[in-house]
Amino acid sequence: MSRKLISFLGALPIAVTLILTLAILLCIATFYESLYGTEAVQHSIYHSIGFGLLLILIGINVTCAALKKYPWKIHQVGFLITHLGIITLVGGSFISFYYGIDGRIALSPGESKNSIELSQKTVTLALHDSNKAYEIPLSVGPYVYEKELIHIATNDASTFVVDRFFPFAQPTEAMIEDPSSDFEAIELYLKSSRFEQSLWLLMNREGRVSASLGPAEITFKKVKHLKFSIPSPSSLATLHLTLEKQHDTLTLTKKDIGKILPLKNPAFRIHIKKFYSDAIVEGKKLKNRSEAFTNPALEFDILGPKGPERYVVFSLFPEFSNLHHQSSQYKAQSSLEVSDQPGRVGSLEIALDSKGKLYYHATSSRGKIQNTVILGKAYPTGWMDTTFQVKTFYKGARQQVGYMPIQVKDPNNPKVASALHFTFKDAQGQAHEDWLSFYETKSFVLNGKNYHASFMPQLLPLTFSLHLNKFNIGKDPGTKNPASYESHVTLLDKEKAQSDHKISMNEPLTHRSLTFYQSSYQTDEQGNPTATILSVGYDPGRPFKYGGSILMVFGILLLFFFRKAYIQLYQQVIKNKERNNEKTFAKTLKDTPSPI
């Protein structure tokens, strides 16, 4: 390198420009971190190519500034040591960036782990049938992306594309029509002078789904009969019975318990044995747990030509009532309707019959209302001025779970997970798309092949494991605020003896160059701790950064506080050297013979 180039690169104006740029950038980074969090400033500034290039230019400038002084003088020692410290500090920063480890490990009491989670997120596609897996890092920072981020082409001509990423995502649910689904769905719209609310109800395998709206209950169910029964004020329940293609509707009161009642078919009668408001099974026997209408059930016998046959019908679980239908003598079908339950101000039932027609039955303190349902038409419920309408009806539907991006108050503790959207398309063109939240794995099948997609942190395996024995939290006296927390762990290393350690806020554990710090903890809904979170760090550049800092301080002290002493020492050395030169010259003259 020519001396002119060294002088140019080590020039003072360039040094001032670089230092001012660094100072401005650090100020911006401080405000940026307070607004958007640590992950954002790390991704956008500290780990950016521009910031790394700036540090390299500072290192080159400092090196050239020292080289252009060569050959160095003794009074330049402070200057050289300071510049050497800066170079060492910058070099240590690069070593930490490229070779350092920054992760965490979460442990529940009694749990052991031999790996740590790194801050790097990864997306993995596993082909279960061929035992192949594709793992791609996702480095996007805490920013919303709605474009292609990852594209994986597999060996069997399939493609896996990640096209959306939300750093802070809130789950959303949408009801979509699906002709292949066996479950119906309705969209209800309720309106009064005080509120408006839309509500979806998706049928389940039991043929009955309910939702609460304040003290009222809304139910969507399947029925075989076109008419609703209207229980009397003293009624317990209404029994719907189908026996040899004849339908009976029996409104039962407390007086009917224990009685034998006639049916439409004169060959049969029914014996109402017992009504349970809250049925449970204990010792293979049905018992009533409480008087609350939690799990209503009815026990009865059908008396026919082949003798009596016992039945139990549950209001909330009608499928349980007919499990023995195939082995039954009479093959009776039954369902139990309990409309007036204590504690309910009102109820609204939307019924779907076998022909696909909708009906409604509303009860309130004013009485009961029932009618057929026309889509989009408003009907009174009897709950003051509240009306309802069925806006949408799907004969086949399914719930589609999605995510939407949200803003969080504290980006460093968002309390919501990240989410991404992916689309997988196989070689035959069949596609599957879905969402993945962070720490989630989903499986799907296309053309008979099994696939697994996951969104996880990158894991770093360890040669040892940590076992959490217990986790303690100390709180400030008289408050519930945590003052300290500590983890009692057992270190399991095959090459070393097993040992117990305490990791607290001021007592980290160091093993095999890894340092474990007590960072935080997880709690359940009641605030009880469920897991400890340990930060794990490994910084091979730390000795260089510490050494560089010490050199800088020492060099600055020499440069500013001992400069006069250095100059005096230098002048004294020069004088001694000149004096020695004079003595040597005089001696030489003395020893030299005069010419004759």
The answer to whether residue 178 is domain-embedded is no
Strands laid side by side in the 269-276 sheet: 260-262, 269-276, 297-304, 307-314
Distance CA 35, CA 29 (A): 10
Residues 354, 443 within the same domain: no
Amino acid at 34: S
pLDDT, position 334 = 87
Q: Is residue 269 part of a domain?
A: yes
In this structure, the answer to whether residues 498 and 417 fall within a common structural domain is no
The verdict on residue 595 lying in a domain is no
Cross-strand partners of 227: none
Residue 255 DSSP code: G
* 584 in a structural domain: no
Distance separating alpha carbons of residues 218 and 362, to the nearest angstrom: 9
Domain check: are 107 and 53 in the same one? no
Q: Please check whether residues 304 and 323 belong to one and the same domain.
A: yes
Whether 336 and 229 share a structural domain: yes
66 lies in the same domain as 81: yes
Residues 333 and 250 in one domain: yes
Query: What residues make up the domain containing 93?
Result: 3-100+542-573
- Tell me: do 251 and 357 sit in the same domain: yes
Residues 283 and 326 in one domain: yes
**82 and 105 belong to one structural domain:** no
User: Does any domain span residue 583?
Assistant: no
Give dist(CA 78, CA 557) in Å, integer: 7
Task: Give the span between the Cα atoms of 348 and 364, in whole angstroms.
Answer: 9
Same-domain status, 214 and 289: yes
What per-residue confidence (pLDDT) applies to 325?
A: 45
Domain boundary residue among 398, 426, 449?
398
Q: How far apart are CA 1 and CA 4, in angstroms?
A: 8
Indicate if 369 and 518 belong to the same structural domain.
no
Q: Is the model's pTM score more than 0.85? A: no
* In a domain? residue 578: no
Report H helices in 314-463: none
pLDDT tens, per residue, the chain with 596 residues: 688 888 888 888 999 999 999 999 999 999 999 888 888 999 999 989 999 999 999 999 999 988 888 888 777 888 889 999 999 999 998 898 888 998 999 999 999 999 999 988 999 999 876 778 899 999 888 999 999 999 998 887 889 999 999 999 998 888 888 888 889 999 999 998 888 889 899 988 878 888 877 667 888 988 876 555 444 445 678 888 888 888 899 988 888 999 999 999 888 999 999 998 878 888 778 888 876 666 788 999 999 888 888 899 988 776 665 544 446 788 888 888 875 555 455 788 899 988 889 999 888 766 678 889 999 999 988 877 889 999 999 999 988 888 999 998 888 888 888 999 999 998 888 888 899 999 999 988 888 888 999 999 999 999 999 999 999 888 877 777 777 889 999 999 888 878 999 998 889 999 998 999 998 888 876 777 888 999 999 999 999 999 999 999 988 888 777 666 666 766 777 777 777 766 665 666 566 665 55
Give me the residue label for tokens 């992916």.
Answer: 422
Within a domain: 351: yes
Number of domains in the chain: 4
Determine phi and psi for 457, rounding to 5 degrees. Answer: -75, 150
Q: Which of 225, 229, 247 is nearest to 238 (CA)?
A: 229
CA distance 354 to 559: 95
In-domain check, residue 587: no
Rounded CA separation 548/579 (Å): 39
Dist CA 187 CA 173 (whole Å): 13
